[in-house]
Amino acid sequence: MSCTKIASRIGGISERAVRYRIDRLIKNKIISIHGNVHAEGLGLAVFADVFIEVEPSLVQKIAQQLASYESISYVACSTGQNDISIQVFAHDNNELFNFVTDVIGQISGIRKTHISFVPLRIKDDQIWHIPSFCVQED
């Protein structure tokens, strides 16, 4: 939505003020502006969480390596039973299985992987709303 349209919808604020506030939010790293790709629209119908156990000294190195794969949309280091969790998109179950076993499973330092298929997403970060306790008035 353009700054002019935002100002019009809010009312009582100029387009310039809207632009200034958006620029400030970007500068302060509160928001970033980008397009969201819907994987299903690209034929990537299979979505899974993969939990990975790795050698303790290699967690960050392997996480960085995993982040370079285009089919992986999310990489996080965690504590507990698994060291790294990732989210993977694929065209079909076979492609996902082959990627996890033949690509991820061959990375030196990975001990074990566990695939958890995601048949239904209820909430996704692209539709996440800012909690009211985080909103500050100017």
The whole-angstrom separation of Cα 86 and Cα 118 is 12
Instruction: Encode the chain in three state secondary structure.
Output: CCHHHHHHHHCCCCHHHHHHHHHHHHHCCCCCCCCCCCHHHHCCCEEEEEEEEECHHHHHHHHHHHHCCCCEEEEEECCCCCCEEEEEEECCHHHHHHHHHHHHHHCCCEEEEEEEECCCCCCCHHHCCCCHHHCCCC
For the chain, list residues with pLDDT below 50. none
What pLDDT does 18 receive?
93
What pLDDT does 119 receive?
87
pTM summary value: 0.71
What pLDDT does 134 receive?
60
Q: Residues 68-83: pLDDT tens digits?
A: 998 998 999 988 889 9
Q: Spell out the domains of the chain, with CATH numbers in brackets.
A: 3-34 (no CATH), 39-117 (3.30.70.920)
At position 9, the amino acid (one-letter code) is R
What pLDDT does 66 receive?
97
What pLDDT does 7 receive?
92
What pLDDT does 38 receive?
74
What pLDDT does 131 receive?
60
C-alpha distances out from residue 119 to 88, 95, 122, Å: 13, 16, 10
